[in-house]
Chains A and B, each alone.
Chain A
């Protein structure tokens, strides 16, 4: 299904009206590679960094890191892999049947 990157935006509200300031409501984008929240600047003229492999926006820091490498390592995948490895290790230490959080192995 085709979706817009705007469908994936998070929400941030900063309300300083009680102390004489203003109200700011803005979209926030999550970097797919590190989960940092990036406040989207509507006046940005540079292209937003985007990973075509995971089809998500990434932050400038992660984009700089992957320059010339062009590898995609979404943090969700890293968490899944680490959890899987920790679970396997735990099961092996107990000497029990391997059942992963994702199902039978």
Chain B
């Protein structure tokens, strides 16, 4: 099926503990577009843009509370192939939640990595068949977010999450 990129540019994560409301504009989340939609995450990239040392503790995890009611969207969603047909229920790539902000699961952490956002970069790529799976649009399988852990120093960065819809 088609591959999509959810990207955010020039954003600064906000440190947050597990199972605590994230801060609007301080996270990057991807949520399924319908209750039966399957997403497979293929790639995660983070590039540091901070002007000074910022050892960031970045966590890709499933959300135990999914965002809702988002009205603005700084996270871009684009098909990698320009010939990709529009989806009836496209996934959501958001950085805000006007009525409900997401909460990171305390147990369902997919990847936890630290890097210096002062020019550092992180790239994770899945082998075909070894992707991170998502299902639906409800907790906890339906949303995955990139956020900053409670420790460390968040810094300005850009990120993208590439996934496949099934």
Specify whether A and B are partners: yes
Instruction: Please list the residues of chain A having a beta carbon within 8 angstroms of any beta carbon in chain B.
Output: 7-16, 18-19, 21, 28, 30, 34-37, 61, 75-76, 79, 82-83, 86-87, 90, 101
Contact A8 B130 (CB under 8 A): yes
Contact A19 B35 (CB under 8 A): no
Given contacts A21-B116, A36-B110, A37-B111, contact A13 B130 (CB under 8 A): no
For the complex of A and B, the 9 pairs showing the least CB-CB separation, nearest first, are A18-B119, A37-B111, A19-B118, A15-B121, A16-B120, A13-B123, A79-B135, A11-B125, A30-B130
Does B79 interact with chain A (Cβ within 8 Å)? no
The answer for the CA separation of A14 and B115 in the assembled complex, in Å, is: 7
Cβ contact of A14, chosen from B120, B125, B134, B136, cutoff 8 A: B120
Does B19 interact with chain A (Cβ within 8 Å)? no
- Looking at the assembled complex, report how far the CB atom of A26 sits from the nearest CB atom of chain B, in whole angstroms: 10
25 interchain pairs, CB-CB under 8 A:
A8-B127, A8-B129, A10-B124, A11-B123, A12-B113, A12-B124, A13-B122, A14-B120, A15-B120, A15-B123, A16-B119, A16-B120, A18-B119, A19-B48, A28-B111, A30-B130, A35-B110, A35-B133, A36-B111, A79-B133, A79-B135, A82-B135, A86-B35, A86-B136, A101-B36
Contact B124 A37 (CB under 8 A): yes
Contact B135 A19 (CB under 8 A): no
Does B126 interact with chain A (Cβ within 8 Å)? yes
Contact B124 A11 (CB under 8 A): yes
The answer for the CA separation of A86 and B38 in the assembled complex, in Å, is: 12
- Looking at the assembled complex, report how far the CB atom of A74 sits from the nearest CB atom of chain B, in whole angstroms: 10
The answer for the CA separation of A27 and B45 in the assembled complex, in Å, is: 16
Chain A interface mostly helix, strand, loop or mixed? mixed
Contact A16 B124 (CB under 8 A): no
Instruction: Please list the residues of chain B having a beta carbon within 8 angstroms of any beta carbon in chain A.
Output: 35-36, 38, 48, 53, 107-111, 113-116, 118-127, 129-130, 132-136, 141
Contact A9 B136 (CB under 8 A): no
Contact A79 B38 (CB under 8 A): yes
The answer for the CA separation of A14 and B125 in the assembled complex, in Å, is: 12
Contact B132 A37 (CB under 8 A): yes
Cβ contact of B126, chosen from A16, A30, A82, A101, cutoff 8 A: A30
- Looking at the assembled complex, report how far the CB atom of A64 sits from the nearest CB atom of chain B, in whole angstroms: 12
Contacts of B123 in A (CB 8 A): 11-13, 15
Cβ contact of B120, chosen from A10, A19, A61, A75, cutoff 8 A: A19
The answer for the CA separation of A94 and B116 in the assembled complex, in Å, is: 52
Given contacts A12-B123, A14-B115, A90-B35, contact A82 B132 (CB under 8 A): no
